[in-house]
A and B are shown apart, each in its own frame.
Chain A
Amino acid sequence: MNCPAGQSGLGKRPLNARAMSTSPFFSLRRTVGGFAIFWLVGVTLLHGWMNLHLFAHTGGTKEYRFRIGFLPVTCHLTCPVTDFINRQQTGTSIFDPVRFNGWPELKEAYLSGYTPATFILAPMAIALREQGVKIKIVYLGHRDGSALMVRTDSNIYKIDDLRGKTIAVPGRYANQRLLLYRELKARGMTLDDVNLVEMPPPDMPTALYSRAVDAISSGEPFMGQTELDGYGRCLYQAKDVWPGFISCVLAVSEDMIRDHRPQVQELVNGIAASGKWLDTSMDHRMEAAQFVSTLYYNQNPRLLAYVLSKPPDRVKYTNLKPTRANFEEIEMLGKAAGMLQGTAHFDDYVDTSFAPDDDKVVEQNYEPKTQ
């Protein structure tokens, strides 16, 4: 029988090292069994106490609560803002925000039913609907708030200079891909004229810094981060080339609409009120930058403060009622770019019955403490 690697020297160990094993009390079964039970119970209790907060008093509410998926991007800012203000005002929230780090996991959690409501890329929601998933867009997440960045020392100064360059986008169903397609098309080019690579937005600033790609395009704050750190230059902002640009939307399952309509309405009202609150005052935005960065996004508050203020209309959170014209343009571009099949239309994937008209939205009644 061959000796496994690393074990050949075991025979050299002195007998006194076996003192524990020779004692009948410390038999293998008793020691390993006892230790395993002690370890599993101990680590489970610690995990329950420190991470799951199982022993914390929850108030014992019987009301329907649901989880809502979001990513740490400005496109989803109204989700943590609503949760924070709800908790400040009432001590609780109707939903539990669940933060994801990538689009695939966010989408899969929705499909599994774990998050019956989620912030999601608009083309991804449409594509899911085309594939038969029961999903309805009930509100928009934001307007604008995307950009295409190149290095400050790059020789790319206009869209035509992108020909043959490597450009990172967040994924197949990212609206930034549509934005790029739209800009290239306006200059007689197609996506085949550039080298598109898919990359998680958090990795994009490093990829640009290290020259792994020539340009990056995603939502904020990852584009603003390259400016703040001094190596990124904006080629275009979404607000300048496609005013009212939509990237992410709030979507819920049809089952939730059927079974918990009042909660969906309450959620949409909360998101709308938070959007209005964010766009009413720069103080509100700076307060949001602080609490969202530290409590929800784990980012430097300076970064979020930068992208929410420079310029102030870089990303907007009002005028978020879904409109047919906006989505038909996305449908048309998505089909032309090969992202969508064109089999699902506005009435299939949008439910406008929850979205208040913009002039009827009442902002959150919450004043910053750091004014």
Chain B
Amino acid sequence: MESVVNGTRAETARPAAPRAKRDWLRLALPCGVGLLFLLAWDLSVRFSGSDLFPKPMDVARAIVELIQHGLLVKYVVASLFRVSWGFALATAAGVPFGLVLGWYTRAAQAFNPLIQIFRPISPIAWIPVAILWFGVSDAAPIFLIFLASVFPITVSAMAAVRNMQPVYVRAAKNFGLSEWELFRQVIFRACLPQIITGLRIALGIAWLVVVAAEMIAVNSGLGYLIIDARNAGKRYDLVVAGMLMIGLIGLGLDMLVRKLENFDEVRWGYANRS
């Protein structure tokens, strides 16, 4: 185990030059791998002789075309809107529900089998149900994204309570905290690091299902871009451009959630783990 303080000492003890070199490598290594990937992609398309699968430059031109037509920003906003609301609703429902299930054994016994039945069902299987319930408005993809992310959030919150050190609860009870205060002040805070990990995984899943969610007849979004490009004949450059944008925004969202780990309320949970 390495504490924050120990880590800080190690950092400050190092000379400046190797640290600068290390920072440079942190950027250069992924860029190098990325360039190699692009090169391999380009060469494999050239050697295969396929005129259907696009080369990296075709995809870059497709992205420029989307920007010029003002579609890229519109589609990114539409997808972010659906994922944001689906994920926000899943968080609002999943975290309290998971904490309750983790704390009250009887509640877990009652609900856990149902959760485990619903959890493995792919959002694609829910598409007909979503259309029948919500038509093809934004509510349908939001519902699908909610379904995809609510179960990982619930299960991680439930597991967090189960794994919590009992000493926190015993100490809180000695101070005479009410049940509500116990949940708010102790259980929630003790479980926060693990909940954040669950949220991070769930956000990845929520963004992952955006293509499936936008297969419904919405007329905007990056998933729609991919489905729509299939109608447009040989526009596989647009398909790959949509895939690339989904990947890049997914990376950005993950980096955003990881920023939460900088807060003391979350950081302690990681720093003290062995």
Contacts and interface: CB of A to CB of B under 8 A. Distances in A.
Interface of A: 1-4, 7, 10-15, 17-18, 20-22, 27-28, 31-32, 36, 39-40, 43-44, 46-47, 50-52, 69, 72, 98-102, 104-106, 108-109, 111-114, 200, 202-203, 205-206, 209-210, 225, 229, 297-300, 303
Interface of B: 1-8, 10-12, 52, 73-74, 77-78, 80-81, 84-85, 88, 127-128, 131-138, 163, 192, 194, 197, 215-217, 219-220, 227-228, 230-234, 260-267, 270-271, 273-274
A46 B77 contact: yes
27 contacts: A1-B273, A1-B274, A4-B197, A7-B261, A7-B273, A10-B270, A10-B271, A11-B3, A11-B7, A13-B262, A14-B11, A15-B8, A17-B262, A18-B262, A21-B264, A28-B266, A43-B84, A46-B77, A51-B81, A52-B138, A98-B217, A100-B136, A101-B215, A101-B230, A105-B136, A109-B217, A229-B234
B233 A39 contact: no
Contact of A209 (B52, B81, B263): B52
A291 B219 CA distance: 18
B2 A72 contact: no
Contact of B264 (A22, A106, A297): A22
A7 B269 CA distance: 10
Contacts of A17: 262
A39 to B, nearest CB: 6
Contacts of A46: 77, 81
A106 B7 CA distance: 58
Contact of B132 (A18, A20, A112): A112
A297 B231 CA distance: 8
B13 to A, nearest CB: 12
B163 A1 contact: yes
B38 to A, nearest CB: 23
Contacts of A100: 136, 217
Given A10-B261, A14-B11, A202-B231, A2 B135 contact: no
Contacts of A2: 273
Query: Lowest 3 CB-CB distances: which A-B pairs, in order?
Result: A114-B135, A47-B81, A108-B131
Contact of B77 (A22, A47, A210): A47
B11 A47 contact: no
B114 to A, nearest CB: 25
A11 B264 contact: no
Given A11-B2, A51-B74, A98-B136, 10 more contacts: A3-B273, A4-B194, A10-B270, A39-B84, A101-B227, A105-B217, A109-B131, A114-B136, A229-B233, A299-B233
B11 A28 contact: no
Given A1-B273, A114-B136, A10 B233 contact: no
A299 B232 CA distance: 4
A18 B267 contact: yes
- Of B127, B133, B263, chain A has the most CB atoms within 10 Å of the CB of B263
Contacts of B273: 1-3, 7
A99 B135 contact: no
Contacts of B216: 105
Contacts of B271: 10-11
B131 A51 contact: no
B267 A21 contact: yes
B122 to A, nearest CB: 15
Contacts of B163: 1
A56 B264 CA distance: 45
Contact of A205 (B77, B192, B233): B233
Contacts of B85: 40, 44
Contacts of B88: 36, 40
A254 B163 CA distance: 58
B171 to A, nearest CB: 18
Given A14-B8, A47-B81, A51-B74, A32 B260 contact: yes
A101 B127 CA distance: 13
Nearest to A49: B77
A108 B128 CA distance: 6
A114 B232 contact: no
A12 B14 CA distance: 13
Contacts of B266: 28
A225 B233 contact: yes
Contacts of A109: 131, 135-136, 217
B128 to A, nearest CB: 5
A299 B231 contact: yes
- Of B138, B231, B232, chain A has the most CB atoms within 10 Å of the CB of B231
A52 B88 CA distance: 21
